[in-house]
A and B are shown apart, each in its own frame.
Chain A
Amino acid sequence: MPGTDSSVPFIRVTGLKKSFGAQKTLQGVDLDICHGETLVLIGPSGEGKSVLLKHIIGLLHPDEGRVELDGVNLCSMTERQLLIARQRMGYLFQNAALFGSLTVAENVAFPLKEAGLRDQKQIADRVHEALDLVELSAHKDKMPVNLSGGMRKRAGIARAIVTRPECILYDEPTAGLDPVVTDVIDHMIQRMQKRFRVTSVVITHDMSSVFRIADRVVMLKNGVVSFNGTPGELRASPEPEIQNFIAGRSGLIA
């Protein structure tokens, strides 16, 4: 059964390179992500964290290198083959990417209906459960345009988790959220891992979230992995660059 052999990494990224025009965003990223682990991607803005995440789910095609899901190369798949592979994953977009023409509940129900679920009660229960996890049940009938940025993001998270995928990729799940809701989302990510052994890849700039949820931390800098280790190793790293990043120091003097 795929997804259970712990000797094979669930996701393996090898020599990934991607350029946009003259801008070399990824310059040879190597990364293994194991089943059930929560990996947090950190690094300065514009260093290709979202680009890497989009390669993992096959939204972008690399210039060089490969991305394997359970040993199967996603980069050699057609778009229609990728559609099937992606059903094992959930994805939270940085801007949530909710469908503007559907209510919050309809947005969350969308992947269930598309996956073929027809029982309306079962759909309603699953939607309620997902919205409850992100504390958004009270707003289920609102249109996305009437939600705050943080609420939109939480609705996006509910939509990403509602199908109970094996792996969820979060692009800045707590950006723009207040500290209490950030804590709720962090706990939800931890709970998903403990209860369903969900593999999570999280991009965040919130260092308290990093130390709260990460099994492993990867830092991207100049298009390559510049750090790969546990949160404890990150904290103990002697690299001034990493320490400045953790402390949020720019080095500028007022």
Chain B
Amino acid sequence: MSVLVEMLALPGRSFLNFLSYLGQLGRLVADLAHSIFRGRLRILQMAEQIVGIGYGSQAVVVVTGAFTGAVFTAQSYFKFKDFGIETTIGGIVSVSLCRELAPVLAGLMVTGRVGAAMAAEIGTMKVNEEIDALRVMGVHPVDYLVQPRFFAMMISMPLLIAESIVFGLAASALVSSLAFHIPFTWFWTHVVDHTNHTDLIFGMTKGFFFGILIVLISCHQGLTAANGAVGVGLGTTRAVVFSSLALLVVNFFLTMLLNYFFPLGTAL
């Protein structure tokens, strides 16, 4: 009987935990809004975070973009050549990179690099009582820790996505011309014919929202870390897993929503 009750209670408890988690995230958003609109902007810390998050993540997103572009080019070529339309690869690769591949894959990579670092750094500060030290010195942890990271991610992520797209296209051009002997002119003509600047805006807009998602989830995990090193490890793992899952789910809804504003194949 008790096992049956436990089995029935489990989904309910999980749902309540999920609601509680959403409530905590909502509270963090409210604190952040207060910090942004009624507190002072911390430009210096924001600049430091842009260097750490944006500048420091370039290698990761460049490699991700380049090899995604390269492998997508190769796979497309293997199938497209059966139909004799391999010269159109540039079009499909650029649109896919702009709208889905670069934002999602670079977003996931940044989640792993930046989200984990945020959760670990803030979590370590939490268990070492450094967060409480901020509070006793009259500094709200959200003002000092979350606000600069929030702005840094909002600024960095769209640019990182754009960089990822550029290197993805460059790699695609290289692979198609060097490995598959498709003249660059044909490749580029199809890129220009099928890609609009709205596709780039589409990807960068996704990056903007992914940045917000990653920073909120990761900072929340850091700020709520407990139980020493184990708690920091758990918080870091959760930050990456929750951010990655949320990114994939939100990506679908963003695709549906943004396609309404920037339909495929149209310019502004």
Contact status B130-A100, CB under 8 Å: yes
- Dominant secondary structure of chain A at its interface with chain B: mixed
Q: Give how many A residues have a beta carbon under 8 Å from the other chain's beta carbons.
A: 25
Contact status A91-B136, CB under 8 Å: yes
B59 within 8 A of A: no
B139 within 8 A of A: yes
| A163 closest partner in B (C-beta) | B137
| B133 closest partner in A (C-beta) | A97
Q: How many angstroms between the C-alpha atoms of A105 and B26 in the bound complex?
A: 37
A208 within 8 A of B: no
Q: Give how many B residues have a beta carbon under 8 Å from the other chain's beta carbons.
A: 14
A72 within 8 A of B: no
| B40 closest partner in A (C-beta) | A116
Quick one: which of A54, A83, A84, A97 contacts B130, CB cutoff 8 A? Answer: A97
Beta-carbon contacts under 8 Å, B109-149 to A: 124-125, 128-130, 132-133, 135-140
Contact status B137-A111, CB under 8 Å: yes
Beta-carbon contacts under 8 Å, A153-208 to B: 159, 163
Q: Which residues of B contact A4 (CB under 8 A)?
A: none
Q: Which residues of A contact B124 (CB under 8 A)?
A: 100
| B132 closest partner in A (C-beta) | A59
Q: Which residues of A contact B137 (CB under 8 A)?
A: 86, 110-111, 114, 159, 163
Quick one: which of B34, B132, B139 contacts A97, CB cutoff 8 A? Answer: B132
Q: Interface code A62-103, partner B: CB below 8 Å = 1, 0 otherwise?
A: 000000000000000001101110110111010101111000
| B31 closest partner in A (C-beta) | A79
Contact status B140-A97, CB under 8 Å: no
Q: Which residues of B contact A99 (CB under 8 A)?
A: 125, 130, 133
Q: Which residues of B contact A114 (CB under 8 A)?
A: 137-139
Q: Which residues of B contact A93 (CB under 8 A)?
A: 129, 132-133
Contacts A59-B135, A86-B135 given: A80-B130 contact, CB under 8 Å?
Answer: no
Q: Which residues of A contact B135 (CB under 8 A)?
A: 59, 79, 82-83, 86
Beta-carbon contacts under 8 Å, A40-67 to B: 54, 57, 59
Contact status A86-B138, CB under 8 Å: yes
Q: How many angstroms between the C-alpha atoms of A127 and B136 in the bound complex?
A: 18
Chain B proximity of A171: nearest CB distance (Å): 10
A115 within 8 A of B: yes
Q: How many angstroms between the C-alpha atoms of A57 and B134 in the bound complex?
A: 12
Q: Which residues of A contact B (CB under 8 A)?
A: 54, 57, 59, 79-80, 82-84, 86-87, 89-91, 93, 95, 97-100, 110-111, 114-115, 159, 163
7 A-B pairs within 8 Å (CB atoms) are namely A59-B136, A83-B135, A84-B138, A86-B137, A97-B133, A100-B124, A159-B137
Known: A99-B125, A111-B137, A114-B138. 9 other contacts (CB 8 A): A80-B34, A83-B138, A83-B139, A90-B136, A95-B128, A97-B129, A98-B133, A100-B128, A114-B139
The 4 closest A-B pairs by CB, nearest first: A97-B129, A97-B133, A91-B136, A87-B138
